[in-house]
Amino acid sequence: MKFTLHFGNNNFPDLAGATRLARLAEVAGFDSVLAIDHVVFPHNYTSTYPYSATGRLFGNPGDPLPDPLIWMAFAAAVTTRLRFMTGVIILPLRNPLVLAKQVATLDHMSGGRIELGIGVGWLKEEFEALGVPFEKRGKRTDEYIGAMRALWAGDGASFAGEFVNFTEVSSSPKPVAGRVPIVVGGHSEAAARRAGRIGDGFFPSIGAQVDTRPLFDIVRRAAEAAGRDPDAIEMITGCPELLPGATGDPRAAVEERKARGIGRIVVPVGAFLPDIEETLERFGETIIKPFGRD
């Protein structure tokens, strides 16, 4: 079982904080740290945030939220083993060729420690501010994944789609392993099917206001229908029983998730504040070490 800290960049938005968190996480034995994404925060929006009971984003419009890739670059530079993932980047808002270049460069310079968690987005007002159509964002996402993988796979790449078209172009450096794992985020059946068809992992996020457990079966069925091995898709979920002050048996909770085929557990870094040195060290000793890392 692997363990990941979520919300790194908004809880520790400056260089000193990113350095502190990344080094503590690495020493404690965490596999990775996730950084979240919004390009802009609309002051007035009617879209419903799906990961809060209130339907509203946490925090205030003026709160710092560093770009996840730049934040990850700084955090990767002060660590040697810890991995980093966008959790999740809003893929339809990005130019896929530019993003492929940025992610491949970051993976290259970090020694292959980058994963790209992607989502289709929910905040229509953010799309409007960036001039990107909110409609067809799912199809746009599928094309962007294909285009990025084509660029990572080799030189002289070509791609033809509704939203992306290029012929015999090269983008270097390439990712260390020839590709960057793409983890599909989202709490919908469409996201689960996308993960099964083309994803390297599935992360329905924590805080979703629906029961996400049935989605993992949808991922597996979609993978089988696409001729893929369902076991090759990493399943990622939360585990409230592991948080400081929680009731219940944390080890039993981990074992239950392992039995369901979960390979990585995500916990919010905010739950370990303010005494993060002490709480992360304790988590490493009592949870991470007994269950080990893949």
Residue-wise DSSP of 64-123: ----HHHHHHHHHHT-SS-EEEES-EEGGGS-HHHHHHHHHHHHHHHTS-EEEEEE----
Provide the H-helix boundaries in 154-273.
Answer: 189-198, 213-225, 250-259
Q: What is the overall mean pLDDT for the chain?
A: 96
**Could you tell me the CA-to-CA distances from 219 to 39, 222, 232 in Å, in that order?**
29, 5, 11
Q: Please report which confidence band the pLDDT of residue 207 belongs to, taking 50, 70 and 90 as the band edges.
A: confident
Residue percentage of the chain with pLDDT more than 70: 99
Residue percentage of the chain with pLDDT more than 90: 92
Could you tell me if 82 and 19 are in contact, meaning their C-beta atoms sit under 8 angstroms apart?
no
In this prediction the pTM is: 0.96
| Of 25-34, 51-60, 258-267, 269-278, the least confident | 51-60
Nearby residues of 22 by Cβ (< 8 Å), 6 or more positions away: 8, 33, 75, 76, 78, 79, 82
Quick one: tokens of 222?
């979609």
Q: What is the pLDDT of residue 293?
A: 52
CA end-to-end distance (rounded Å), the chain: 6
Kindly state the average pLDDT of the residues 242-247.
88
pLDDT digits (tens, 9 = 90+) for 117-148: 999 999 999 999 999 999 999 999 999 999 99
Whether the predicted pLDDT of 289 surpasses 90: yes
Q: What is the pLDDT of residue 294?
A: 45
| Of 224-233, 269-278, 283-292, the least confident | 283-292
Q: What is the pLDDT of residue 210?
A: 80
pLDDT digits (tens, 9 = 90+) for 41-97: 999 999 999 988 899 998 899 999 999 999 999 999 999 999 999 999 999 999 999
Could you tell me if 13 and 66 are in contact, meaning their C-beta atoms sit under 8 angstroms apart?
yes
Q: What is the pLDDT of residue 244?
A: 86
For residue 173, whether the previous peptide bond is cis, meaning omega lies within 30 degrees of 0, is yes
Whether the predicted pLDDT of 292 surpasses 80: no
Could you tell me if 86 and 117 are in contact, meaning their C-beta atoms sit under 8 angstroms apart?
yes
The CATH architecture that domain 2-291 belongs to is Alpha-Beta Barrel (3.20)
Q: What is the pLDDT of residue 245?
A: 85
Kindly state the average pLDDT of the residues 18-46.
97
In the chain, what are the domain boundaries? 2-291
Q: What is the pLDDT of residue 86?
A: 98
Q: What is the pLDDT of residue 113?
A: 98
